[in-house]
């Protein structure tokens, strides 16, 4: 992964910044690097590029560095960064847009299970209009470890069902057609 070091001269490529701003509807150029997003993020210990540096890299047009980073896949979309941003940049949404761009360009996530979890999560939302933990967990376990992965998770799942922590049957949303419409529109975007 190419990284801009302190001694490296980087010529900003505004086209990548404009693409992200258009796709996410967020003005990343407004970021002045206060680092509040990074200081509030609960997952920085696992990230290769801190959230404020992702935004700066977008501003500089470092497309390959940003789209191939672990950070965009490790972001939990908890929106702590978004609530802390003094300029109102929805950084969690920017990260989601980056994940979509990375997937669309066929860039493989460096950590295989992160992409499998992301796919299982979206599949659950597409099917039920919200996350159904049981279905998502089974889907993820099968994608990441096959039948043996599912067997490893079974004991935990049974224990959680007994305690009433997860439901066997999913709750349906009345807005199922709207959710399907959102997925359809998202798939049609360039």
Q: Which domains does the chain have, with CATH numbers?
A: 14-104 (1.10.1060.10), 112-188 (no CATH)
Rounded-to-10 torsion of CA 145, 150, 153, 155: -150
Q: What is the DSSP string of 6-58?
A: TT------HHHHHHHHHHH---GGG-----HHHHH-TTGGG-SS-HHHHHHHH
What is d(CA 140, CA 156) in angstroms, rounded to the nearest whole number? 14
- Res. 17 pLDDT band, cuts 50 70 90: very high
pTM exceeds 0.95 for this model: no
- Res. 150 pLDDT band, cuts 50 70 90: confident
């Amino acid at each position: 992964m190419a990284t801009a070091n302190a001694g490296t001269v980087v010529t900003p490529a505004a086209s990548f910044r404009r693409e992200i701003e258009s796709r996410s509807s967020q003005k990343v150029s407004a970021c002045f690097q206060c680092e509040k997003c990074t200081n509030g993020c609960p997952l920085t210990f696992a990230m290769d590029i801190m959230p404020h540096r992702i935004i700066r890299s977008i501003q500089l047009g470092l497309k390959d560095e940003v789209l191939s980073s672990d950070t965009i896949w490790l972001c939990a979309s908890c929106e702590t960064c978004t609530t802390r941003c003094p300029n109102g940049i929805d950084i969690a949404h920017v990260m989601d847009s980056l994940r979509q761009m990375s997937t669309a360009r066929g860039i493989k996530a460096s950590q295989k299970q992160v992409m499998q979890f992301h796919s299982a999560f979206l599949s659950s939302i597409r099917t039920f209009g919200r996350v159904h933990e049981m279905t998502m967990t089974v889907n993820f376990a099968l994608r990441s470890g096959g039948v043996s992965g599912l067997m490893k998770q079974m004991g935990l799942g049974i224990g959680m069902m007994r305690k009433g922590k997860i439901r066997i049957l999913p709750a349906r949303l009345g807005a199922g057609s709207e959710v399907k419409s959102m997925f359809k529109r998202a798939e049609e975007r360039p």
